[in-house]
Amino acid sequence: MWKKLLFGALLTLWANGNQKTFDCPMRQLALEFAVEIQPSLTMDQLQEIADALNGAQEAQNCSVSPELIDWKNLKREKPKRHRTPAKWDDLQPSNDKSKVYIFVDVKRGDDANDGTIDSPLQSIHTAIDQKDFFFGMYLKKKKKKSILRGGRHYLKETVTLDYEDSNMVITNYDGESADVSGAVPIECTWKLYKQNPSNVNIYECSVTGISTINGLRVNGKRAIRARYPNANPETQGFGSSLQAISWLSLPPPYVPDFEFNPEFFF
C-alpha cells in the first residue's frame, strides 16, 4: 500500500508539483506512517506530530490531522485521546478469573509472602521467577499485573523476560513513584578519613563484598571519588589520579661529565 501511495504521490509531483496535490498529502501520509511504525501512539501524541508537520513555513496551508486518518484502511482501531494512569479500582482483584495481581513492596514486603496487597513480596525477581506459583499455570495466556509499591527497587541481577512472560505487565501502584535501579546500596558507617588533614573533606567506609565500583551517588547526585590532587574530573579534565597520594619528588638536575679541551687553529 505504501509503495502505491508513494508512487502515486510522485506522479502527482511530476504532473503538478504544487502544495495542494503533493506536499500536504505527503505530510498527512507521514502522519499515517507514524501510526504504522509506532501503533501505540495516542490521539494527543498524533496531534503533536500533526502540529509539527503543519508548523513548517512551507506547510502554512496544510491541515494535517489525526482525524483525517483512514483507520479502517490501516486496519487499526482509532486510539484514545490520551492515556490515563491506572486507578486503584482498576487494579483491585475482581471476580474475573482471567486477571490476576501480585504486589511487590520493597519496604515492608517479604519474598516468603503470598503476593497480595496485604502480604506483598519484596523483590521483582521473585515475582517473575515464581510467576507460575503465584499466577497459576492455567493463567499463562491471561492478563497478569505485577504492581510495584512506592520506593526504589534494586535489582540484584538482570531481569530476564521470555515468551512465558507474555501478557504480564509490571507497573507502579497508582499515585506512588516506583523506581527500578541496577545500583547496589551501600549500607555502612561513613567516617572521616584518618590520614587526611583537618581542612580536607574526605570520608571513608568499608565496601567489603562489592568487587567493582564504577561510580557513586549520594542522595541521587554523583559523588567525586578521592584523588590527588583533589579535583573534579567533569570540570577540570585530566591532571589527577585515584592511585596517587602525592606529587612525585623532582630529582636534582642532571649534570653530565665532560672534558673541555679547546683547540686553536691558525
Nearest CA to 29 out of 62, 69, 67, 61 is that of: 69
Work out the number of other CB atoms within 10 angstroms of the CB of residue 79: 19
Taking the complete model, does pTM exceed 0.85, yes or no?
A: no
The share of the chain scoring above pLDDT 70, in percent, equals: 62
* Confidence check: pLDDT of 243 > 50: yes
The phi, psi pair for 23, rounded to 5°, reads -60, -50
Look up residue 110 and give its three cell numbers: 517479604
β-pair partners for 152:
179
Lowest mean pLDDT among 118-122, 150-154, 195-199, 214-218: 195-199
Q: Taking residues 161-172, report their average pLDDT.
A: 80
The length of the chain, given as a count of residues: 266
Write the single-letter amino acid at 162.
D
Whether the ω angle into residue 85 lies within 30 degrees of 0, i.e. cis, is: no
CA angle, 208 then 213 then 215, to 5° = 135
Lowest mean pLDDT among 65-74, 87-96, 155-164, 202-211: 87-96
Most confident of 3-17, 213-227, 236-250: 213-227
Band (pLDDT 50/70/90 cuts) for residue 197 is low
pLDDT score for 232: 63
What does pLDDT average to over the chain? 74
